[in-house]
Structure 1
């Protein structure tokens, strides 16, 4: 009898272990299989790639941006436009793995689905070469090329979006790098040690003080509080709790309302406005706009920051003019600007438009997704009118396009060097056009570029004009 009990106990233990193994394998297959397949240390992945030509990547109009070419027994990844798309498409290297779209859509480009991960993917040398799926991006190649050309090697970023769908039309970032595997391996060490950070996609991961571009959100909070008609005294400077805040070149604008204050970018008015609005209004509007939240996107992004737990009057004044601890990415500023253009509704940014199989048949088409309401339609319409005055008679006149109504906002943001008078401020511009029926929204930053009304506004004008001319 004792022996029977022992046998039963052993059988129970074996069954228990068996079910643990089954459960673990089920968990791996259901929840971890994609991560494990995409891991650069997965040797099985290399075997798949040896027999697979990665799918092509195209722009929205069918311009070929990346493809694979047989080089002996090796599939070599070719990028016809070199560094231009290195921060969007990324690279695919057997030595250094993958980045950006090449990483995010690795399984798609290799034609791997959940079933093929289990059956028949690891093959011998006689296995015929497979062809992966193709991607069509939302990017407009002409616009992307123009963005890269206008940055002209300067550090910064150009982001353009369709405000109604969230489709990203251009995502240029500088400096960048040659993504071809051979060049990558030759220059890797010098690039990771470079103070210029060429691997950093400034458009999506760069965080900057927004400067006066942040005033469009402050204006929204002020309109919601019923302050749009209030008249302020602007004497060129104002002292708040011992901290003096000045307008650019200490210009005094006298008695002005909110609309005119936005047009001339009065720091004096907005510093006073910030203290009047208070922390609750700031936290509310920034939360609705997506600060401190992850941005759902196809490639890595950084969360924009509004990291205040408590705010004194100086904090409120500095935040209202886009300085202090406020940090934002160019992509996020383009999304905020798009929300104003889109009646207060923020759309999820989209980078991949559709997927086709090796025969060219569309297997998946991505649809626009609403992220949320940043503000009411009536508030967005009022800010849209104010932003038009910024371009027609304010600091954004360099963004004006003949025959087209442009809405915009300039920004000149202090940085670690400009505070010490060792470099110029960062140059910002955000805007959209045509104002009455927006087709494109842009965010431009040029590091150490100086006045946003000069460098960034001019770049934005060229981008919007090019897109609207097609």
Structure 2
């Protein structure tokens, strides 16, 4: 064989080898990656040919697949779209599964999860079209509706938990959106809706209850500081704290006032219990300095700060800042400086106090069932941590009750029901805007529901937009629905 023919043979052989290697790599190494790409039309068509599992609240579907009467065969439907949008998420032919359970439990809903392996074998043998699993949620429809109606057109979030188990009873984020517009088979309209939602400055697709921007907690964080004080053994509810009209931050000339410029007590001293009741800024700034950043950080961590939770959607970890100077430590005592939280975390703090100091891991999916309604997975309540002792929980509960009966949270009171709570008004930015907070639980003697309410600042001028005025009435509606269910 002459040299040119040998060279040509080598080139042809190399080309066939490259083709063989590339084909093998694509079929075996990249197969899963290519199949799972959101824009893979073949995968989408395959998924649409299946009966995607339903998502149920109290036995009623809040997401289901129905016959579409077109080439895609099935369409996702959300009967109460806006009310549960941030729990369900959306399932779109163009954009795939996104947000909420549609994304985090996509494998179960589509029927590809390993939990359904044996079910798939049976379907293969019998020729049955594969179906996804059904998810039964912990949400209570009456509490969810009460939270949504009470929050109304305001931007913010509401989270309600069963403090005994961690079950999420309500999770509302406003503004919301209708996932039906993304599930439509009118693909041009879907693209327009997608662009409109993603270009909306109010971020309606963001679940403010667990993700998105973290918020300064303001005075609801005083519960964490008070817990640290009581757990230290150096303070009791009747311990006297320094509480002057204005407190000069350490090593600065900056003066911290109380809300409205009012004094916390006739003298420059106020008890820890009264500091919680009237939400005294100066005494808690002083107390934070006495405790130190490490003690407060440790106490925050025991409530769940810094932990990455899956409910099963990811919850953005709340944070207590590090490397603080003395002035900054004082500001964290009133939930300012760089303390940042989710409403879920704030609800967990109240739930732990309500549950004798034990933090339960929050969860949204109660039961997973196959197409024959057999239970294939059931969530068992899990303890996350013992944040405080039962004695500390009892003392904090009494303080929080006084907030409702004779303090800043009277707007959350319920007739003939003992309510424990704490208000907060958290300033942010440089223009004086502030978010309104409330957290608490009821009945205080035998808690059934814990709640956190966040209302984002309506404007730069927040006069009157305090936690006691804005957030407490919303919490009242949610707590009332919870104790009357």
For the superposition of Structure 1 and Structure 2, which TM-score range results when normalised by the shorter chain? Answer: 0.7 to 0.9
User: Is 1:329 matched with 2:342?
Assistant: yes
The alpha carbon displacement at 1:446 in A equals: 0.4
SS of residue in 1 equivalent to 2:314: coil
1:237 corresponds to which of 236, 246, 259: 246
Normalization by structure 2: what TM-score?
0.84
Confirm or deny: 8 A CA contact 2:54 2:65 kept in the other structure: yes
Q: Equivalent residue for 1:441?
A: 450
Confirm or deny: 8 A CA contact 1:131 1:358 kept in the other structure: yes
Tell me how far apart the structure 2 counterparts of residues 216 and 93 of structure 1 sit (CA, whole Å): 43
The alpha carbon displacement at 1:122 in A equals: 12
Deviations 1:386-417 (A, max 9, x none): 1111111110111111111111100000022x
Which range moves more in the overlay, 370-379 or 322-331? 370-379
The alpha carbon displacement at 1:58 in A equals: 0.8
Tell me how far apart the structure 2 counterparts of residues 102 and 121 of structure 1 sit (CA, whole Å): 25
Q: Equivalent residue for 2:62?
A: 65
SS of residue in 2 equivalent to 1:86: helix
Q: Equivalent residue for 2:404?
A: 391
Q: Equivalent residue for 2:4?
A: none
1:185 corresponds to which of 188, 191, 205: 191
Which range moves more in the overlay, 224-233 or 242-251? 224-233
1:286 corresponds to which of 300, 321, 327: 300
The alpha carbon displacement at 1:195 in A equals: 1.4
Tell me how far apart the structure 2 counterparts of residues 77 and 69 of structure 1 sit (CA, whole Å): 7
Tell me how far apart the structure 1 counterparts of residues 46 and 281 of structure 2 sit (CA, whole Å): 58
The alpha carbon displacement at 1:47 in A equals: 4.0
Confirm or deny: 8 A CA contact 1:160 1:334 kept in the other structure: yes
Tell me how far apart the structure 2 counterparts of residues 47 and 292 of structure 1 sit (CA, whole Å): 40
Q: Equivalent residue for 1:462?
A: 477
Tell me how far apart the structure 1 counterparts of residues 217 and 225 of structure 2 sit (CA, whole Å): 12
Normalization by structure 1: what TM-score?
0.87
Tell me how far apart the structure 2 counterparts of residues 41 and 95 of structure 1 sit (CA, whole Å): 7
Change beyond 3 A, Cα 1:53–1:212: same
The alpha carbon displacement at 1:427 in A equals: 0.6
The alpha carbon displacement at 1:293 in A equals: 2.0
Q: Equivalent residue for 1:51?
A: 49
The alpha carbon displacement at 1:242 in A equals: 1.6
Tell me how far apart the structure 2 counterparts of residues 317 and 406 of structure 1 sit (CA, whole Å): 29
SS of residue in 2 equivalent to 1:190: helix
The Cα RMSD (Å) is 2.6
Confirm or deny: 8 A CA contact 2:136 2:366 kept in the other structure: yes
Confirm or deny: 8 A CA contact 1:296 1:348 kept in the other structure: no
Confirm or deny: 8 A CA contact 1:84 1:172 kept in the other structure: yes
The alpha carbon displacement at 1:50 in A equals: 3.0
The runs of 5 or more residues in structure 1 that have no matched partner are 1-17
Tell me how far apart the structure 2 counterparts of residues 233 and 82 of structure 1 sit (CA, whole Å): 51
Tell me the matched-pair count.
Answer: 436
Confirm or deny: 8 A CA contact 1:48 1:122 kept in the other structure: no
Tell me how far apart the structure 2 counterparts of residues 151 and 118 of structure 1 sit (CA, whole Å): 43
Tell me how far apart the structure 2 counterparts of residues 233 and 148 of structure 1 sit (CA, whole Å): 41
Q: Equivalent residue for 1:271?
A: 285
User: Is 1:222 matched with 2:229?
Assistant: yes
1:213 corresponds to which of 220, 232, 236: 220
Confirm or deny: 8 A CA contact 2:419 2:443 kept in the other structure: yes
Tell me how far apart the structure 2 counterparts of residues 121 and 197 of structure 1 sit (CA, whole Å): 44
Tell me how far apart the structure 2 counterparts of residues 172 and 220 of structure 1 sit (CA, whole Å): 28
Confirm or deny: 8 A CA contact 2:123 2:130 kept in the other structure: no
Change beyond 3 A, Cα 1:38–1:338: farther
Q: How do 1:391-410 and structure 2 match up within 5 A?
A: 391-410=404-423
User: Is 1:168 matched with 2:179?
Assistant: no
Change beyond 3 A, Cα 1:406–1:118: closer
The runs of 5 or more residues in structure 2 that have no matched partner are 1-20, 459-464
Q: How do 1:52-451 and structure 2 match up within 5 A?
A: 52-59=50-57, 61-72=58-69, 73-74=71-72, 75-99=74-98, 100-114=100-114, 129-180=129-180, 181-182=183-184, 184-205=190-211, 206-225=213-232, 226-228=234-236, 229-240=238-249, 241-252=252-263, 253=265, 254=267, 255-308=269-322, 310-416=323-429, 419-421=430-432, 423=433, 425-448=434-457, 450-451=465-466
SS of residue in 2 equivalent to 1:464: helix
The alpha carbon displacement at 1:272 in A equals: 0.6
Confirm or deny: 8 A CA contact 1:38 1:106 kept in the other structure: no
Which range moves more in the overlay, 374-383 or 233-242? 233-242
Tell me how far apart the structure 2 counterparts of residues 37 and 339 of structure 1 sit (CA, whole Å): 43
The alpha carbon displacement at 1:233 in A equals: 4.1
The alpha carbon displacement at 1:116 in A equals: 5.0
The alpha carbon displacement at 1:128 in A equals: 5.8
Confirm or deny: 8 A CA contact 1:346 1:372 kept in the other structure: yes
